Structure 1
Amino acid sequence: MSIPPAMIAGHGETARLDIHELVRRLNSHLGPLLVASLSGSKDSKLPYKWAKPDGPTPGPAFQKRLQLAHRLWVSLADAENEAIARAWFIGGNPFLDEDTPVTALREDRHKDVSQAMTAFLEDRQDV
């Protein structure tokens, strides 16, 4: 199994982050409404609370989605730039049946969204 170098670098950074700091960074880059959406939270204010050092800790399913979103963000922002990374998260994606990566993350289609990001970074026409 070949893992793109960008995903490996993003994994290391993500694994070392405290979940509260990770959410704070995602809030900064994507905005708390998108963070709530991709995490599957029905409470749009929860990402603000998660981002506080003494705030509540997201549950395991939320953490898994948030960590993958952060890895994807790091990979895309490093390879391209922050504006393109944000556009990728919210735009319809042909590799995801025109769903957005935010939707795919929320639906736990982790493998699909990771493959879509890799195809984007490698400028491939297939996954």
Structure 2
Amino acid sequence: MATIELKAYTASVRTDMPELVGALRDVLGAQLVAYIAGVKETRAVRQWAEDDGRRPQPKQEQRLRLAYRVAALLLDQDAPRVVQAWFQGMNPQLDDVAPARFIRETDGDDAKVLAAAQSFAANG
């Protein structure tokens, strides 16, 4: 598990934003990525995924990198539909808050959502 976690972390840091957003969009869908980033329209997600110089704000980028890290960790064992369901479903380790909402609303509490993802991956 530690190797998977390290790979997920490394990928979340090294991946360029357009590629990262595109990969997240492929797994989670544009609406969920927009929700996590805190934007109202999926157009922003599309623009970030295109390499035209537009980038998310720093807080949005932090959320997206965390979501990418979590998705990479979960994708090691689960299909994209399971990962998408995990992001959307109520999670008992996050006080019954969906991980997508938790990431969006609790900037800076990365450890809690990572622990929930690691637990799911270990027990999945």
TM-score calculated relative to the size of structure 1: 0.87
- In structure 2, distance between residues paired with 1:6 and 1:99: 25
Mapped contact 1:23–1:51 kept (Cα < 8 A)? yes
- CA distance in 2 between partners of 1:55 and 1:33 (Å): 21
- Please say if residues 14 and 71 of structure 1, whose CA atoms lie closer than 8 Å, have aligned partners that are also in contact: yes
**Higher RCO (CA 8 Å, separation ≥ 6 residues):** 2
Q: In the TM superposition, what whole-angstrom CA distance separates every residue of 1:79-102 from its partner, at most 9, and x where no partner exists?
A: 222222111111110111111100
Q: Which amino acid aligns with 1:10?
A: A
| Unaligned segments of structure 1, at least 5 residues | none
Number of the residue aligned with 1:71: 69
Alignment correspondent of 1:114: 114
The aligned amino acid for 1:116 is A
Deviation at residue 45 of structure 1 after TM alignment: 2.0
Distance 1:20 1:60 in 2: 14
Check if 1:89 corresponds to 2:87: yes
Task: Report how far residue 55 of structure 1 moved.
Answer: 4.3
**Whole-angstrom CA distance in 1 between matches of 2:2 and 2:59:** 24
Larger mean Cα displacement after TM superposition, 71-80 or 39-48: 39-48
1:30 CA displacement? 0.7
Which has more helix, going by share of residues? 2
Tell me how far 1:49 sits from its aligned partner.
1.0
Moved over 3 A (4+): none
Match of 1:21 among 19, 22, 30: 19
Superposition TM-score, scaled by structure 2 size: 0.89
Structure 1 counterpart SS, 2:123: coil
Quote the offset at 1:54 in angstroms.
Answer: 0.8
Q: CA deviation at 1:44?
A: 3.2
CA distance in 2, matches of 1:123, 1:80: 12
